[in-house]
Amino acid sequence: MTEEPNRTRGIPAEMLVGVSAVVIGVCALGVSLYETSLMREQQRAAVLPILELGRSFYLTPEDQGTEEWRLSFSAENVGIGPARVVDFVVTVDGEPQATWGEAMRTLLDRKVDVRYGQSTIVGRTIPPDRSITMFELADRSLARDIMERFARLDFSACYCSVFDECWTTRYSTFGAPATVASCRRRQNSFEE
C-alpha cells in the first residue's frame, strides 16, 4: 500500500486557521461589549446626582440678650451631576400637606398664621454643589414649638439624572437615595 503524498493526517491547516480566526473574533467582540458597558457606567457615574434634604436651626443663647431661634429646610445636590426634581411631598404624621403653611399649622395643632419664605424645587434642575432653601421660618417665635414636634414632619423628593435614572430621598433617611423606575408628579404632591 502506498500513501498519497499530498494528504496529511489530522486537521487541515486552512481549517485550523479559520477556527482560530472565529475564536479570536468572538473574543474581540466580547472585549468590545465589555468596554462599551464600562464606558456607559463611567458616563452615568460622571453625572450622578445625589440630592440631600436637610434642616438648619440654631438658638441664640439667653445670656446674649434675648433668645432667638432660626429654622430652615434645604435641598442640596452633593453629587457630580444635575438633579432634575420631578416630585416633592411634605407629610405630617404620614399625611401629605399642600403647602408649608398647612404643614406648620398641622404640626403645631392649631390655626395660626405662619410667616415664612419659600422656594420651590419641583420642576427645577439643581446643579452640583448647589443648595436651595425650600423653607425659612420668618416667625421665629414658633421655631421652638416646631422643633419640639419635628419628628412628626418629613419631606421627600423624587429626582432624575440626565440619563433618566431616578431616585427618591427623604429627610428621615439622612439623604440615602433609593432607586426607582421613574418619577412622576402625584395627586398629593406639594404645591409650593
Could you give the C-alpha distances from 22 to 17, 81, 157, 165, in angstroms and in order?
Answer: 9, 42, 51, 38
1 inside domain: no
Q: Which range of residues forms the domain containing residue 28?
A: 13-46
Domain containing residue 157: CATH number:
2.60.40
Domain count, the chain: 2
Q: Is 74 exposed, middle or buried (0-12, 13-18, 19+ CB in 10 A)?
A: middle
pLDDT (mean) for 89-107: 95
Q: What is the pTM of this model?
A: 0.77
How many angstroms separate the CA atoms of 130 and 80, rounded?
11
pLDDT of 124 over the 60 cut? yes
DSSP 183: -
Query: Do 30 and 59 share a structural domain?
Result: no
Query: Do 62 and 37 share a structural domain?
Result: no
- What pLDDT shows up at residue 109? 92
Per the model's pLDDT, the better-predicted residue between 68 and 177 turns out to be: 177
pLDDT (mean) for 59-86: 84
- What pLDDT shows up at residue 182? 96
pLDDT tier for residue 81 given thresholds of 50, 70 and 90: very high
Query: Do 127 and 64 share a structural domain?
Result: yes
Query: Do 69 and 41 share a structural domain?
Result: no
pLDDT of 6 over the 60 cut? no
Give the pairing of strands 153-160 and 83-92.
antiparallel
190 inside domain: no
pLDDT of 91 over the 90 cut? yes
Query: Do 160 and 127 share a structural domain?
Result: yes
- Mean of pLDDT over the chain: 87
89 inside domain: yes
pLDDT tier for residue 62 given thresholds of 50, 70 and 90: low
